[in-house]
Amino acid sequence: MKKTVTTLADGRELIYYDRRDDAVRDAADERPLGQVATSSQVRQDVLLGDAVAIASHRQDRTYHPPADECPLDPSRDGRHTEIPDSDYDVVVFENRFPSLSGDSGRCEVVCFTSDHDASFADLSEDQAALVLDVWTDRTAELAELPQVAQVFPFENRGAEIGVTLAHPHGQIYAYPFVTPRTSLMLRSAADHRAATGRNLFEDVVAREQADGERIVLATEHWTAFVPYAAHWPYEVHLYPAHRTADLRSLDDGARAEFPAVYLELLRRFDRLFGPDHPRTPYISAWHQAPFRAPGRDEYALHLELFTIRRTSDKLKYLAGSESGMGVFINDVPPEAAARRLREVASE
C-alpha cells in the first residue's frame, strides 16, 4: 500500500491510498475555497450522562446532488471535486461538514472506489483488502491525537438510511469521549468477568457456535451470526477468532480472510429481498475498544452489519418505544433472519 498525503485548497487533509507503489498523486486542488468554518461542540446530557454533538453548520452540507455533480467523484473534464486527481483507489479526507472537529474530535470521509455507480459489494477482494488496511491505518493515526478517545469506522448505504451522497463511501468518527454504546458493553463485560471469571465477548461467540441456529457464516478466522437479541430485522455480528481490542492488532490470518468473508455477507444482504430490490440499505459499523478507558483489555473488536428493511416493501422505523424509551421491538425472529441469510449464500 502506498500512502500519499496532501491538502485541499481550504487546508483540509486528503490522503490517497494506492495498491501500486508507483502511483503518483500530485494533482492540486484548484477550487477557490476559503477556510472551513465549523461550529461543532459537545454538550453533556446531565440526565442520561451521554454526549450530544451540536453542529449547526451541517445544515448546509451537500444534499442529493445530480450524479454528474457528485463531490466524491475524481476531478475530470474541467470539473473539480473533493478529489483533485482524475482517478483513485481509496481516498480519505477531512469532512467539509464535520460533526466533530478540533478539540471535539475529527470526522473523515473514506471513498472506497472512484466508480460512482459501484457499491462495496462490487469491489474485488484486493480492493476490499485495501479498505481494511485504510481503516487500520486511520485507527492508528487517529489514536495518536490527544483529544481522541475512540475511533469508529462505518458505512451508511442507501437513501432509506439517510445517505445524501450516492457515491460508495464511508466515514470515520474520532470521538473525544467513549460512546454510550461502548460504555454499556464495557460495563456488561466487567460485570460478567466479576461473576464468572470469563470474558463476555468470548462467551457470547462460544454460545452462538455451540447453538449453531443463528450462525450465518463460519470460517477458520471469522464467525458471523445473528445475535440472540437482535435489535434490527436482519442484523449480523462478525467476530475474529482471536479476540483483539481494535484493528491495529488484528492477526494476519483474520486480515487475509476478511475480504472474502465481508464481501460474501454484503452480497447476501443484497439478495435478501429478491432481484427487484438488489441493494439493501444498511449500516456497517466497526466496534473498537476506546484507547484509554478502564476495561479496554476486556473488549473485543467486532463488526455489526444491519438493515432497516424488514420486508421488500417495509422499513423498520424507530417509533415510540425505540425512540422514546430505547426499547427495540423486532418483527423478524433472529433464527428466521439467520436462516434466510444462509439461504441466499453464494453458490
DSSP-based three-state secondary structure for 263: helix
Count of all residues that appear for the chain in the document: 347
Q: Are 74 and 88 in contact (CB under 8 A)?
A: yes
Distance in angstroms (rounded) separating the CA atoms of residues 53 and 86:
35
Name the residue with cell 482471536.
Answer: 242
Q: How far is CA 283 from CA 136, 187, 236, 290, 304, in A?
A: 19, 24, 11, 21, 8
Known catalytic residue at 169: yes
Amino acid making up residue 338: A
Alpha helices in the chain (DSSP H): 125-143, 180-196, 200-211, 252-271, 325, 334-343
Measured between its terminal Cα atoms, the distance across the chain in Å is 32
Return the closest-CA partner of residue 90 out of 152, 23, 164, 7. Answer: 23
Beginning with the edge strand found earlier in the chain, give each strand of the sheet holding 222-225 in spatial order. Answer: 2-7, 13-18, 90-94, 106-111, 169-175, 150-157, 282-287, 302-307, 234-240, 222-225, 215-218
| Helices 180-196, 200-211: inter-axial angle, 10-degree rounding | 80
From the candidates 169, 192, 221, 237, which is the catalytic residue? Answer: 169
Q: Rounded to the nearest 5°, which phi and psi values hold at 155?
A: -130, 130
Cell numbers placing 198: 470469563
Catalytic residues: 169
